Amino acid sequence: VENNGGGGGRVAAAAVGRANPDGHTLLVGSGDGLAIADLLFRGREGLLRPKLRPVSRTVRASQLLVTHSNSGISDVAGYVEAVRRRDGALTLALPGHGGIAHLISEMLNKQLGGLHVVHVPYRGGGPATVDLLAGQLDAMIITLPAVTEHVRQGRLIPLAVGVLQNPVPTA
């Protein structure tokens, strides 16, 4: 069963959590998606993460706060200044709504003094990246591999990177 996030991912994770733990049912999914689902949707199934056991990590990707090269923002201090100067009108693309990028944005805004930005959710990182590169948005939070080449070529400016502090242990 594949957990691709959203409500369907929670349904899939619940089905795997109910399955007989005989080694024949496997969920491929994102740990952050499960953690967020447990925070937001404590349905009649209860918490999902305690019912599942990690087997292997297949991908680990840091989240990156980036802006486009014509934004005039070159570091976190410049980002904070731009948010304050625009009085909460700075647009921040999110590849999805209510996902890890959204949570990171809210945590970052709180840590940087209660900033307010306009969250612009997209159906994935590709469309968000295209609009950021075109200058239709001010910034974005996305996985590092999704924009590495744009950063290398100078089209996107990295402002901050999020790192996993407590990785999920594998068996």
Measured distance CA(165)–CA(104) in Å, rounded: 13
Which residues share a beta bridge with 142? 64
Sheet holding 156-162, edge to edge: 118-121, 91-94, 139-143, 63-68, 156-162
**pLDDT digits 0-9 by tens, 38-49:** 666 666 667 777
pLDDT interval class at 121 (50, 70, 90): very high
Q: What is the pTM for the complete model shown? A: 0.74
pLDDT interval class at 57 (50, 70, 90): confident
Q: Which residues contact 109 (CB under 8 A, 6 or more apart)?
A: 115, 116, 117
pLDDT interval class at 31 (50, 70, 90): low
What letters, b where the CB count within 10 A reaches 16 and e where it falls short, cover 139-161?
Answer: bbbbbeebbeebeeeebbbbbee
pLDDT interval class at 32 (50, 70, 90): low
Percent share of the chain, pLDDT over 90: 43
Question: Letter for the amino acid at 81?
Answer: E
Residue 4: the pLDDT is 44
What letters, b where the CB count within 10 A reaches 16 and e where it falls short, cover 89-119?
Answer: ebbbbbbbebbbbbbbbeebbeeeeebebeb
At what angle are helices 31-40 and 100-111 packed, to 10 degrees? 70
**pLDDT digits 0-9 by tens, 134-143:** 999 999 999 9
For 28, the 3-state DSSP assignment is: strand
